[in-house]
Amino acid sequence: MSTDTTSADSPDAVQADIKIVFTPSGRQGMVAHGTTVLQAARSLGVDIDSVCGGRAMCGRCQINVGTGEFAKHGIVSGANSLGAVTAVEARYADKRGLSDGRRLSCQSILLADAVIDVPPESQVHNQLVRKAADERQIEMDPVVRLCLVEVREPDMHEPSGDFRRLAEALAQQWPDRVTGDITCDLHILQQLQPVLREGKWHVTVALRDGCHVSGIWPGLKENVVGVAIDVGSTTMSAHLCDMATGVVLASTGAMNPQIRFGEDLMSRVSYGIMNPDGPAEMTKAVIAGLQTLIDGAAEQAGMTSDDVV
């Protein structure tokens, strides 16, 4: 009786197992070469949503691929860890859109070790993060104050820029609040001319530290808000606060997106040391996460992100 053996060089040879690590759950295991990320997730008990049976129709199974050397797990992960974008996946991206770097896990074939991040919107059981703000009596001395000013109109006989006339109006009409030379950021200069004309030369200015214009609105604006941020190694939260009264208007929380670079701070330090772009990548992730929290808190309070100063 003959025994059928397969050469290691044969196309039918069994490929070595692949190590896959899922964040933020931390679940990991070995799966066969050619397994889809969605299949791997189900085999390891990782919670990725999908209602279309892996046909790239629902778009709920989106994931991100970690890039770099993950010393804690002993693997290197990157875009090459997955197979090329399939025609089905490309059609979904063309019709429905996919954020930069996102893949559909039902279409992503594992070719090498990988770290896979499952964003909150792709999790079957979204994690509810509650981090309440303690309320206590605080003597308010806000860093940002609102000042309604009347700016003199342009005069061809006395040429001057809009910002110069705004600074003069602040110094003359709010001498108790102006503490130095008035400055502003580029985006204020870009919107100054249309805002002045929309407000018919009456505008409300958000004055920071008594000298820096951080916001400007046509006419009278009575309320602006600030955000208290709590960034922990696992979770983070944002608390929207009235800048005049200190009252907490809304709170939002989420997992710290940096968790995909390591579950603890030392793992993230190692990731930053071993990957040249690691620090910038982690910074970008946490800033994007915080902006999402701020947008959500503003929406809860019936405000917009422009109200946050």
| Domains, the chain, with CATH or none | 18-122 (3.10.20.30), 144-218 (3.10.20.880), 225-307 (3.30.420.480)
The predicted structure's pLDDT at residue 132? 67
Which portions of the chain are predicted below pLDDT 50? 1-14
The predicted structure's pLDDT at residue 203? 94
The predicted structure's pLDDT at residue 229? 94
Query: pTM of this prediction?
Result: 0.63
The predicted structure's pLDDT at residue 221? 87
The predicted structure's pLDDT at residue 9? 45
The predicted structure's pLDDT at residue 111? 95
The predicted structure's pLDDT at residue 135? 65
The predicted structure's pLDDT at residue 48? 86
Distance between CA 7 and CA 19 in Å, rounded? 24
Q: What is the 3-state secondary structure (H, E, C) of 193-248?
A: HHHHHHCCCEEEEEEECCCEEEEEEECCCCCCEEEEEEECCCEEEEEEEECCCCCE
Provide the edge-to-edge strand list for the sheet that holds 235-242: 225-231, 235-242, 248-255
